[in-house]
Amino acid sequence: MTRASIPPLDCTSLQAQLAALPGLARLRALSAGFAEASDETIAAILDSAASFAADRLEALNAQSDSAAPQLADGAVVTSELHRDVWREYAEGGWIALDLPEQLGGQGLPLVVAVAVQEVFDRHCAAFGMLPVPVRSAVRLIEAWTTDDTIRAEWLPKLVAGEWGATICISEVGAGSDASRIRTKAVPRSDGRWSITGEKQWISFGGHDLTDRIVHCLLARTEGAKGLSLFLVPDRIDGAANGVIVRKLEHKLGLHLSPTCAMGFEDATGHLLGEEGRGLAQMFVMITNMRMAVGAMGLGIASAAADVALAYARQRLQGGAGPQPSPIIDHADVQRMLLSMQAGVESSRALIYVAAVEADLARTETDDEARRNSAALAQWLLPIVKTLGGELAFTTADSAIQVLGGAGYTTDWPVEQLLRDSRVLPIFEGTTGMQGLDLLHRRLWKDGGEGLRVFLGRARADIARLAGRDAAAATEIIDLLETIAGQLGRMRDAPRDAEAGATGLLHLAIDAALAWSAARLAALDDDTPAAARLRALGGFQLGELTGRARHHAAEALRGAAALEGIATLL
C-alpha cells in the first residue's frame, strides 16, 4: 500500500482566525509594510503556501525515512529532491516573509510567517528545521553586528536562502547548563578569532542545500566572565575553515534534518557584540526559535487531527443498523476528534496573538502600549513553546488511537508525526526549563508584569461571554492568578516553588488556552468557519476546567512531595 497523504490544508480557518485577531489592525496602522498585509494578501499567501506544501513538501516528506541525509567523506549529502525543494522554497521568497525590506525581505508581520510555517511544517517538519535558524540568524546579526562588511555580505545571502545557519550552544557536557561550555576563542592579530571545541545536537550543521553555512556559536574567551558569541563560517574564500562534521545522530524522527556532532579546529570566527555577553545576545535567536517550535507543533498537530478526521469519516465499523457505520458516529471517537480540533484551533489563536504582540513590542509608538506588548510577549513565550511541543505529540498520539492498528503502521503518516514531534518538548529548552523560566524570570525577576497584562486582556475578552463558557474561563483565569500569587511569594523557599514550576507552566497554558477558547466562543460572524470555531472554543473550555484544577494542585505540592527520591538514590 502507498502511504496515505496528509490532506491538503483548507486555509479558511486560518484566515478566519487572522481576520479576528486582536492587534493586527494596530500593526497595519504602524507600518506601511504591515499595511500591505491585507486580508486578501494574506489569504493569497496562505493558499500559495498550502499548494507548495501539498505538492512539494508532501513528496519530500514521503521519503523522509528512506532518503535521509548521509555523511560521506566528511560531507553531509542530501537527496536530489531535497535540494530541488530547497531551491524552489528559497526562490519563492518564503524565508524572507517577515524580514526587513532593506535586507531583501518582504517586511510582513511575524504572524504571517508563523502561519506559513505552520502550513509548511504540517507536511514536512524536518524541512522546516533549516529555515528557522536562518531567519533567526538574520535577526541576530542585524541586532548585534556593527561590521558593515559582514552586514553587506552575509545578510542578503541568508535572506535569499543561498547560505544556511545554525545555532551552536550545546556540548557533550553542556546542555541546558551553558555555564559548562568549554569551546574556546583566542584573538588573532587581524581582529578575528580562533575557535576550538566540540558542539552537539546541531541541526543542519552540515549539508549541501546552500553554498555556505554560518554557525552562530557560544565560546569562552580568556578574562571574560561570561560566554561570547561568534559567527563562524564553514568556508572562507572557498576553502575549509576548520569546521568538521564528526557524525550524524541516529534518532527517532525528523530524519530529513541532519543532526550533527561538530568539531571546530582552529576555525576562524568573528566576534558578535561584546565579549562576555554572548548568551544574552543569543536570546534574540533563541526567542525566534522558541516561537518557531510553537508553530511547528501546531503544524504537526493540525496534520494529525485532519488525518484522523478524514479516516473517521470513511472507516466503517460497528453501529446499530445492519450496515456498519462510519466510526465518526461513535461517541468516543467524536470526543477524540473534537478534542484534537479544539486543541489545534485554541492553540492557533494563542500563537497568532503571541506573534502579533512580539511585533507590537518592536513597533508600537505608544510607550505604555509597547511596554505592555513586550511584557505579554515575554509571558507567552515559554507557554507557546511548551504548548506547541506537547500539543503535537498528544494530538499525534490521539490520531493513532482513532486509526487503531492502521495508525500504528507506516501505511499512514500519523506514526511519523508522533516520532517527529517527540523532540519538540526537548529542544530549545525542555518543558522543565520553561517552567523554571516562567517562575524565575517572569514571576520573580520581572515581578509578574507579563502576568498582569495577560490577566487584564483575558478578563476583558471573557466578559463578552455568558453562561457556562464564561464561568469555566473565569475559574481558570482566577486559578492562575491565585497560584501564581502564592508561588510569587515563595522566593525564600525556592525548592518548594521549583517543585511546582512545571505545574505552574501547565496551569499558565490552561489559562492561555481558556483565553483563546473564550475569544473563539465569542465570535459573532455568521460564516460556517466562525460557527465551527465557536463550537470548538466551547468544547475546549469544557475540557480545560478539570485539567486546570489538577495543574493548580500540582503547582503547590512543594518539595515535600519529592522526598521519596531518597529511595531511588
CA distance 342 to 536: 5
User: Do 155 and 272 meet the contact criterion of CB atoms below 8 Å apart?
Assistant: no
Q: 197: alpha, beta or left, given left = phi > 0 and alpha = psi -120 to 50?
A: left
By the 8 A CB rule, do 419 and 11 touch? no
Q: What angle do CA 414, 509, 282 make, to 5 degrees?
A: 85
Q: What is the pLDDT of residues 146-157, one digit of tens each?
A: 889 999 999 999
In 63-159, which residue ranges form alpha helices assigned H by DSSP? 80-91, 110-123, 131-144, 148-159
Q: Considering the candidates 58, 428, 498, 543, report the single residue annotated as catalytic.
A: 428
Is residue 439 within 8 Å of 451, Cβ to Cβ? Answer: no
Mean pLDDT of the chain: 96
- Quote the cell numbers at residue 506: 501547565
Write out pLDDT tens, residues 50-80: 999 999 999 999 999 999 999 999 999 999 9
Q: The C-alpha cell of 247 is what?
A: 557524525
d(CA 149, CA 152): 5
pLDDT for position 176: 86
The pLDDT tens digits for 129-178 are: 999 999 999 999 999 988 899 999 999 999 999 999 999 999 999 988 89
Burial (0-12, 13-18, 19+ Cβ within 10 Å), 2: exposed
Question: Domain locations in the chain?
Answer: 12-62+93-123+281-421, 142-154+161-276, 431-561
Give percent of the chain above pLDDT 90: 93
Q: What single letter denotes the amino acid at residue 266?
A: D
Asked if pLDDT for residue 32 goes beyond 90, the answer is: no
Task: Give buried/exposed letters for 177-187 (b at 16+ CB in 10 A, else e).
Answer: ebeebebebee
Band of the pLDDT at 1, cuts 50, 70, 90?
low
Per-residue pLDDT tens digits for 486-496: 999 999 999 99
Q: List, for residues 77-118, the tens digit of each pLDDT value.
A: 999 999 999 999 999 999 999 999 999 999 999 999 999 999
Check if 12-62+93-123+281-421 and 142-154+161-276 are the same fold: no
Residue of 402, 413, 393 whose CA lies nearest to 298: 393
Contact between 271 and 228 under an 8 Å Cβ cutoff? The reply is: yes
d(CA 380, CA 358): 10
Query: How distant, in Å, are the alpha carbons of 157, 185, 391 from that of 104?
Result: 9, 32, 34
**Quick check: 203 and 133 in contact, CB under 8 A?**
yes
pTM score: 0.97
Any catalytic annotation for residue 428? yes
Rounded average pLDDT over 299-319: 96
DSSP per-residue letters across 281-331? HHHHHHHHHHHHHHHHHHHHHHHHHHHHHHHHHH-B---SSSS--BGGGSH
| CB count in 10 Å sphere of residue 280 | 13
What is the CATH T-level fold of the domain 142-154+161-276, as seen in this structure? Butyryl-CoA Dehydrogenase, subunit A; domain 2 (2.40.110)
The domain 12-62+93-123+281-421 belongs to what CATH superfamily?
A: Butyryl-CoA Dehydrogenase, subunit A, domain 3 (1.20.140.10)
pLDDT, tens only, 445-467: 999 999 999 999 999 999 988 88
